[in-house]
């Protein structure tokens, strides 16, 4: 479509002159134009197609991204500007689809983008949550939650006529299919297929995000991961998961049969990727459906094993789902006999009880079922896969060494560079041409410029501009002023003890004491946080409270506020990430080694010219390898040390607290007069007791190393900005490996074998 045609169509759809249009008018018209244009790129599928099933797709706003991928962005931008409007204003109109929680859902979204861009046939399958995750409010120094309605009358999910019967607790429901077009960059269009019930009733939401958890017909897809701290919430998760995978499995079989499969040959038509354990019931469900169609149990098991592959995302025991068999009896009685038969097969294969599907307490282990009855189990970064093979899933690895493989995560550069950092994109294109947009490994060509002072100064100016843009956005959104001349150090990710926002917190307290005793920092810093805490995760909320309290304390103290400004971004989501990441100088990736499977935030920051301050965890290890130790700040225990400490069971937080006056001083400050004057005693006392009494994620042993390394980074930044810029350029030039295009090529080569 030429710019002229685009303008004509826009005017037609809006039914008035473009100067008279509201952003809302333009948004609705562009939604239509993008959907029509995407439909032009739908291609027939011959041979095997991928179905990526995931409880989350954290897709972010789609308009700009789709316009970029369809090659319409620049024209739309010009047309808007000719009529007194801006792209930014237009983007404000679009609500962010709230279909995910964190990295796992964002990965699924990046994968869909890469599949379409690489011209591979691959759809997503998930749920159409009405409110998705909650909206985070930070009033009064505490997180509270409210519903995040993103489904206005105009959104990307198009209703279809297709419905599938799903039996939940013995009652029939109709799952309706909605589709969001996924447009590749100069590529094909695939679909994100989302299921929902017509009977959902938003009006049953009461105070905050609470609702009647038992009224399935009305509540089933209201929220992503409803609070699972009680039985009704846990049960609801099983309901949600079964709705997703049963409708999904029927959809897959229907498509494959339409394309000519006789189901015996299903593996020639379909590859199914199970993203974490939320979709695991698809295995027994497919077996059940195949049996219904006359295929013998044994053959059905073999077919399903051939079709399915499983991605593990965690070694946190509490995050590996297991359900009481009685729950499954209630919600999905039709699956229980099949799961029991699968468990019997496992018992015939081995007498190792640790790999059973159903354990001695009648708990059903979803990951165990995945590993036995799929043909591939992958981890998401090299270190993570090694830990799976050597410790967490070692018994499985001994049984099926051939099933285990690594697929290091990646991110789509269309959103995390081209869309979120247009200035840097133009700069790179100017230096090395546009090839990197299609082939990220071309970023290596930037290596030629690492000693070019003019180039480095330009790069510094771009960072400065992005910091100013972030400051403006923050001022508008939260009425907070930040100093773009300070070093921006950012930790944005879900709030979790293993990610260790509390380590950052202790550092900030430590610096407070240093300033008070006359040891001034080498540069002023702005410490930015963005994080939501799961609604029932008390300690995570305590950490947020401590940060907000400390932030106010610093603001009220001119001696400290000259040097440190703590900023907490309210309601961290993809839109916020797109503003924060280009503005970052120092990327905080400080999880306890062995606990962060991969991380993808680390890759986004690197790509946008931040240096990483991190532990040897997840993909940080591969980032360090790529850029070299001079261009990253690594600190802390190794994963082996951590694993050994857990195995020995001899870590005592209290000993560390007593032995180190700096640690003691920082922890005690949490419940000091100064803090209690501003904050809530209950939260601060609880957090303090946790840190010096238990500290399950070993914050204290890494404390001193973190302080030293972080202060080194700040000193380097202050002492030699040009050299800092040189090292950020090296990071950008080495980021190509972390493109999700590379990840998807590997999945395709090793696991899926899709036809183009």
Considering the complex, state which of residue 322 and residue 595 has its C-beta at the smaller distance from ligand PLP. Answer: 595
Considering the complex, state which of residue 223 and residue 239 has its C-beta at the smaller distance from ligand PLP. Answer: 223
Number of residues that bind ligand PLP (CB under 6 A): 11
Distance of CA 756 to the CA centre of its chain: 28
Which residue stretch of 309-317, 399-407, 457-465, 600-608 sits at the interface with ligand PLP (rule: CB under 6 A)? 600-608
Considering the complex, state which of residue 48 and residue 493 has its C-beta at the smaller distance from ligand PLP. Answer: 493
Q: Which of 305, 311, 575, 600 is catalytic?
A: 600
Specify the DSSP element, H or E, that contains 566: strand 564-569
Give me the least distance between CB of 569 and ligand PLP, in Å please.
Answer: 11
Give me the least distance between CB of 102 and ligand PLP, in Å please.
Answer: 4
Q: Which of 499, 500, 541, 710 is catalytic?
A: 499
Considering the complex, state which of residue 205 and residue 574 has its C-beta at the smaller distance from ligand PLP. Answer: 574
133 binds ligand PLP (CB under 6 A): no
106 binds ligand PLP (CB under 6 A): yes
Phi–psi pair at 540, nearest 5 degrees: -65, -40
- What's the CA gap between 200 and 128, in Å, rounded? 11
Q: Which of 128, 278, 604, 710 is catalytic?
A: 604
Q: Are strands 135-137 and 144-146 parallel, antiparallel or unpaired?
A: antiparallel
Name the residue whose CB lies closest to ligand PLP.
601
609 binds ligand PLP (CB under 6 A): no
Give me the least distance between CB of 246 and ligand PLP, in Å please.
Answer: 29
- What's the CA gap between 465 and 462, in Å, rounded? 5
Pick from 21, 28, 37, 103 the residue near ligand PLP by CB under 6 A: 103
Considering the complex, state which of residue 515 and residue 577 has its C-beta at the smaller distance from ligand PLP. Answer: 577
CA-wise closest residue to 168 among 310, 304, 281, 324: 281
Give me the least distance between CB of 163 and ligand PLP, in Å please.
Answer: 32
Pick from 97, 599, 609, 636 the residue near ligand PLP by CB under 6 A: 599
- SS3 of 613, please? strand
The residues in 35-94 that bind ligand PLP, with binding defined as CB under 6 A, are none
Question: Binding pattern to ligand PLP, positions 569-588, x when CB under 6 A?
Answer: ----xx--x-----------
Q: How does DSSP classify residue 522?
A: S
Considering the complex, state which of residue 120 and residue 490 has its C-beta at the smaller distance from ligand PLP. Answer: 490
Which residue stretch of 17-25, 460-468, 596-604, 644-652 sits at the interface with ligand PLP (rule: CB under 6 A)? 596-604
Q: Which of 493, 496, 545, 710 is catalytic?
A: 493
Residues whose CB is less than 8 angstroms from the CB of residue 749 and which lie 6 or more positions away in sequence, other chains included = none
Considering the complex, state which of residue 374 and residue 412 has its C-beta at the smaller distance from ligand PLP. Answer: 412
379 binds ligand PLP (CB under 6 A): no
Q: Check if 665 is active-site.
A: no
Q: Check if 499 is active-site.
A: yes
Which residue stretch of 99-107, 115-123, 271-279, 701-709 sits at the interface with ligand PLP (rule: CB under 6 A)? 99-107
In this structure, are residues 192 and 126 in contact, taking their beta carbons and an 8 Å threshold? yes
- What's the CA gap between 142 and 208, in Å, rounded? 14
Give me the least distance between CB of 4 and ligand PLP, in Å please.
Answer: 36
Give me the least distance between CB of 573 and ligand PLP, in Å please.
Answer: 5
Give me the least distance between CB of 591 and ligand PLP, in Å please.
Answer: 8
Q: Check if 600 is active-site.
A: yes
DSSP state string for 94-136 = SPPP----SHHHHHHHHHHHHHHHTT--EEEEEE--SS-SPEE
Considering the complex, state which of residue 188 and residue 496 has its C-beta at the smaller distance from ligand PLP. Answer: 496
CA-wise closest residue to 529 among 495, 485, 486: 495
Give me the least distance between CB of 539 and ligand PLP, in Å please.
Answer: 18
Q: Is 472 buried (19+), middle (13-18) or exposed (0-12) by CB count in 10 A?
A: middle
Q: How does DSSP classify residue 591?
A: P
Considering the complex, state which of residue 30 and residue 626 has its C-beta at the smaller distance from ligand PLP. Answer: 626
Q: Are strands 377-379 and 404-406 parallel, antiparallel or unpaired?
A: parallel
Give me the least distance between CB of 381 and ligand PLP, in Å please.
Answer: 11
In this structure, are residues 709 and 615 in contact, taking their beta carbons and an 8 Å threshold? no
Considering the complex, state which of residue 600 and residue 748 has its C-beta at the smaller distance from ligand PLP. Answer: 600
Give me the least distance between CB of 311 and ligand PLP, in Å please.
Answer: 15
Helices (H), 163-307: 216-219, 231-258, 282-292, 297-307
In this structure, are residues 490 and 586 in contact, taking their beta carbons and an 8 Å threshold? yes
102 binds ligand PLP (CB under 6 A): yes
- What's the CA gap between 445 and 432, in Å, rounded? 6
The residues in 430-449 that bind ligand PLP, with binding defined as CB under 6 A, are none
Q: Which of 135, 237, 494, 500 is catalytic?
A: 494
The residues in 490-509 that bind ligand PLP, with binding defined as CB under 6 A, are 493
- What's the CA gap between 240 and 221, in Å, rounded? 7
End-to-end CA distance of the chain: 25
Four-residue CA torsion sign, 16, 19, 25, 27: positive
DSSP state string for 353-369 = GGG-SB-TTSEEEHHHH
Sheet holding 158-168, edge to edge: 158-168, 171-183, 189-197, 122-127, 49-53, 270-275, 308-311, 377-379, 404-406
Which residue stretch of 98-106, 163-171, 519-527, 670-678 sits at the interface with ligand PLP (rule: CB under 6 A)? 98-106
Which residue stretch of 27-35, 41-49, 100-108, 309-317 sits at the interface with ligand PLP (rule: CB under 6 A)? 100-108
600 binds ligand PLP (CB under 6 A): yes
Give me the least distance between CB of 455 and ligand PLP, in Å please.
Answer: 28
Give me the least distance between CB of 678 and ligand PLP, in Å please.
Answer: 28
Considering the complex, state which of residue 369 and residue 626 has its C-beta at the smaller distance from ligand PLP. Answer: 626
110 binds ligand PLP (CB under 6 A): no
Calculate the alpha carbon distances from 405 to 110, 157, 378, 605 in Å: 20, 34, 5, 26
Give me the least distance between CB of 92 and ligand PLP, in Å please.
Answer: 18
The residues in 212-241 that bind ligand PLP, with binding defined as CB under 6 A, are none
Residues whose CB is less than 8 angstroms from the CB of residue 284 and which lie 6 or more positions away in sequence, other chains included = 335, 338, 339, 342, 369
Q: Check if 604 is active-site.
A: yes
Considering the complex, state which of residue 280 and residue 409 has its C-beta at the smaller distance from ligand PLP. Answer: 409
Phi–psi pair at 95, nearest 5 degrees: -75, 145
Pick from 601, 609, 701, 736 the residue near ligand PLP by CB under 6 A: 601
In this structure, are residues 756 and 480 in contact, taking their beta carbons and an 8 Å threshold? no
Considering the complex, state which of residue 147 and residue 601 has its C-beta at the smaller distance from ligand PLP. Answer: 601
Calculate the alpha carbon distances from 281 to 278, 331, 725 in Å: 8, 12, 49
Calculate the alpha carbon distances from 104 to 274, 312, 376, 387 in Å: 12, 10, 18, 19
Q: Which of 130, 188, 288, 313 is catalytic?
A: 313
- What's the CA gap between 244 and 240, in Å, rounded? 6
Which residue stretch of 194-202, 550-558, 594-602, 606-614 sits at the interface with ligand PLP (rule: CB under 6 A)? 594-602
- SS3 of 40, please? coil
Q: Is 155 buried (19+), middle (13-18) or exposed (0-12) by CB count in 10 A?
A: middle
The residues in 718-737 that bind ligand PLP, with binding defined as CB under 6 A, are none
Q: Which two tokens stand for residue 63?
A: 């308009």
For the annotated catalytic residues, the residue numbers are 313, 493-494, 499, 600, 604
Contacts to ligand PLP by CB under 6 A: 102-103, 106, 493, 573-574, 577, 599-601, 604
């Amino acid at each position: 479509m030429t710019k002229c045609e685009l303008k004509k169509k826009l005017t037609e759809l809006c039914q008035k002159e473009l100067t008279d249009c509201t952003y809302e008018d333009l948004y609705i018209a562009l939604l239509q134009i993008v959907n029509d244009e995407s439909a032009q790129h739908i291609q027939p599928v011959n041979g095997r197609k991928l179905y990526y099933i995931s409880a989350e797709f954290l897709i972010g706003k789609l308009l700009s991204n789709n316009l970029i991928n369809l090659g319409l962005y620049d024209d739309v931008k010009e047309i808007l500007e000719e009529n007194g409007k801006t792209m930014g204003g237009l983007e404000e109109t679009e609500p962010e689809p709230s279909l995910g929680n964190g990295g796992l859902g964002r990965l699924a979204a990046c994968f869909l983008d890469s599949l379409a861009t690489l011209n591979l046939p691959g759809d997503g399958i998930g749920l159409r949550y009405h409110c998705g995750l909650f909206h985070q409010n930070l009033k009064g120094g505490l997180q509270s939650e409210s519903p995040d309605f993103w489904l206005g009358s105009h959104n990307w999910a198009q209703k279809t006529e297709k419905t599938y019967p799903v039996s939940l607790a013995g009652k029939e429901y109709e799952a309706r299919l909605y589709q969001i077009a996924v447009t590749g960059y100069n590529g094909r269009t695939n679909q994100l297929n989302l299921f929902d019930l017509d009977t959902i009733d938003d009006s049953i939401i009461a105070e905050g995000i609470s609702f009647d958890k038992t009224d399935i017909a009305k509540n089933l897809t209201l929220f992503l991961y409803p609070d699972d701290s009680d039985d009704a919430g846990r049960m609801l998760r099983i309901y949600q998961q079964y709705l997703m995978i049963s409708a999904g499995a029927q959809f897959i079989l229907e498509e494959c049969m339409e394309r000519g499969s006789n189901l015996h040959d299903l593996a020639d038509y379909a590859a199914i990727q199970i993203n974490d354990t939320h979709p695991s019931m698809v295995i027994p469900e497919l077996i059940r459906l195949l049996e219904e169609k006359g295929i013998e149990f044994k053959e059905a098991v073999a077919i399903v094993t051939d079709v399915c592959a499983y991605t593990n995302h965690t070694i946190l025991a509490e995050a590996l789902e297991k359900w009481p068999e009685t729950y499954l009896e209630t919600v999905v009685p039709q699956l229980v006999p099949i799961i029991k038969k699968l468990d019997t097969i496992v018992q015939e294969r081995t007498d190792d009880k640790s790999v059973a599907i159903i354990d001695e307490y009648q708990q059903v282990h979803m990951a165990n079922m995945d590993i036995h009855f799929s043909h591939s189990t992958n981890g998401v970064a090299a270190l993570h896969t090694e830990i799976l093979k050597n410790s967490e899933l070692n018994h499985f690895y001994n049984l099926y060494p051939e099933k285990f493989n690594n697929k290091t995560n990646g991110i789509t550069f269309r959103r995390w560079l081209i869309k979120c950092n247009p200035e840097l994109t133009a700069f790179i294109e100017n230096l090395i041409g546009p090839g990197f947009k299609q082939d990220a490994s071309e970023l290596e060509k930037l290596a030629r410029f690492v000693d070019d002072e003019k180039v480095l100064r330009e790069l510094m100016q771009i960072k400065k501009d992005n910091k100013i843009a972030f400051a403006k956005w923050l001022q508008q959104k939260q009425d907070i002023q930040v100093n773009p001349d300070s070093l921006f150090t950012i930790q944005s990710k879900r709030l979790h003890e293993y990610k260790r926002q509390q380590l950052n917190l202790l550092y900030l307290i430590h610096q407070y004491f240093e300033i008070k005793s006359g040891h001034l920092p080498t540069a002023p810093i702005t410490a930015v946080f963005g994080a939501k805490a799961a609604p029932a995760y008390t300690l995570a909320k305590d950490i947020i409270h401590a940060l907000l309290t400390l932030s106010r304390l610093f603001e009220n103290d001119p001696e400290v506020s000259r040097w440190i400004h703590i900023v907490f971004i309210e309601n961290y989501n993809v839109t916020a990430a797109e503003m924060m990441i280009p503005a970052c100088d120092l990327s905080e990736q400080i999880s306890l080694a062995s606990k962060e499977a991969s991380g993808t935030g680390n890759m986004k920051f690197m790509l946008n010219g931040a240096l990483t301050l991190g532990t040897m965890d997840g993909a940080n290890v591969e980032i360090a390898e790529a850029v070299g130790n001079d261009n990253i700040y690594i600190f802390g225990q190794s994963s082996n040390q951590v694993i050994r400490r857990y195995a020995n069971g001899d870590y005592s937080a209290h000993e560390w607290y007593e032995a180190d006056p700096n640690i003691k001083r920082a922890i005690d400050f949490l419940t000091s007069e100064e803090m209690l004057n501003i904050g809530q005693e209950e939260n601060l006392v609880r957090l303090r007791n946790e840190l010096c009494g238990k500290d399950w994620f070993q914050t204290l042993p890494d404390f001193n190393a973190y302080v030293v390394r972080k202060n080194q980074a700040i000193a380097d930044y202050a002492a030699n900005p040009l050299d800092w810029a040189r090292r950020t350029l090296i990071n950008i030039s080495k980021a190509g490996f972390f493109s999700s295009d590379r990840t998807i090529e590997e999945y395709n080569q090793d696991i899926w074998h899709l036809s183009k």
